[in-house]
Structures are given as structure tokens and as C-alpha cells.
Amino acid sequence: MRRRKFITLLGGAAAWPHAAGAQQGERVRRIGVLMNLSSDDREGQARVAAFRDGLQQSGWIEGRNARLDIRWAAGESDRFRMFAKELVALAPDIILAASGTAMPPLLQATRTIPIVFVQVADLACSSGSSNPAIPQRTRTVPVGDDWQHEIKFDGFRVQIHKLGDEVVLYSRSGSRFGRRLPLLCKVLRELPVIAR
């Protein structure tokens, strides 16, 4: 259940600006969630349950200091666009994009609301790459459930190392990258570390 653990860890990321313990009477934080699966999909329900668990373990309780607005696109591009606009109109504090296909419509709908992007992939199902961080070319399109793909957006791919307040970013080649992204380092320092 690597996926479940990964999404549970993401629960802490969703609370990034408010890592301190929640207190009664504080403002309810609104979290938009754009899922790529249908609402009756068992895997999708498990992911949302793990996300809720992670939020709760970080002190964010639905109905008390957090509200989740979940939309299920069921893999349909028209639904992704419609729900992205709908979620942005709700003015959430942050949006969780549960797949790569959720990102383009969200980025079209907003450039001001923070978006946490998670590509849930099981590395055991990788295409045989010796280094899953480096994409590999292929002459044919893989078929079946035992492969993964990645959408590359404009930006940088970095690996984050966090120990207490110390944050170090590394590029794919292993170079330190933090000086190029100081705002990201600042935000990451405020995130809680959740040990499992």
C-alpha cells in the first residue's frame, strides 16, 4: 500500500501554511481536491480516506477547521475542465491535484491558488528503468497496467531533503538547487515532518 502511505504523507503538505496545531474558533481552511477517478472507484475512495487520515493526524479535522471539496473527473477531460473551474470559484486555500491530467485545467483556471500535485505511481510497476527519476525513450507505446508515465510541465524536477528546519533541494544530476528556488525552500521549512 505504498500509494496510501504516500497520500497520507501528503496530508501534511496540504496543511503547509498552518502547521501549528489547530485550535477551536480558528478559520475553517478549504481544500479543493480534483480526483482523476470516479466517485465509486474503490482505489479513489481509499486515496481520499488516506488523505483525510493524514489531515486528521496533522490536526485538520473535517467539519471543525477544514473543509474538503472533492470533485471526481472520472478520467474525462470535459469533467476535469468543468471541475477545475468549479473548485477555483469556491476559493479554496489550496487544491490537491490527484493526477497529472488534473494539472493543465487547474493551471488554466488559476495561477494564484496553491496546487499540490501528486502523481501516484508504484515504482515496482516501472518500465524497468534502473533510475525511475530519469525518463526513458521507447519505440512502442507500452500496453497494460504495468507501466507508468509522467507529464512534464514547465519547471524543474527536484528532490527535497528535509531534516527539521533544514531544507536541501537536489536536481536530477545531484546538484544543490535551493538557491534557484528560495520561496519553495521557505515554504518547505514551514511544513511539518510526519514520521511513519
DSSP state of 125: G
- pLDDT tens across 88-97, in order? 999 999 999 9
Q: Which residue has the higher pLDDT, 81 or 181?
A: 81
Closest by Cα among 39, 117, 110 to 71: 39
Residue 101 has what pLDDT?
80
pLDDT at position 123 is 34
Per-residue confidence (pLDDT) for residue 138, from 0 to 100: 61
Q: How does 33-43 read in b/e, with b if 16+ C-beta sit within 10 Å?
A: bbbbbeeebee
52 or 196, which is more confident: 52
Of residues 47 and 136, more confidently modeled: 47
pLDDT at 18: 46
Selected from 3.40.50.1580, 3.40.50.2300, 3.10.310.50, 3.30.43.10, the CATH number assigned to the domain covering 2-15+27-154 reads 3.40.50.2300
Element (H, E) at 43: helix 42-57
The tens digit of pLDDT for each residue in 106-146 reads 988 988 898 887 764 433 333 344 444 555 566 666 666 65
pLDDT of 194 strictly over 90: no
Domains of the chain, by residue range, sit at 2-15+27-154, 156-196
pLDDT bin (cut points 50, 70, 90) of residue 38 is very high
What does pLDDT average to over the chain?
75
pTM (predicted TM-score):
0.53
Cell match 472533492: residue?
A: 70
d(Cα 102, Cα 153) in Å, to the nearest integer?
A: 12
C-alpha 92/C-alpha 54 separation (Å) is 18
Report yes or no: 6 and 120 within 8 Å, Cβ to Cβ.
yes
Q: Kindly tell me if the per-residue pLDDT of 25 is higher than 90.
A: no
pLDDT of residue 195: 55
Q: Which grid coordinates are listed for 126?
A: 516501472
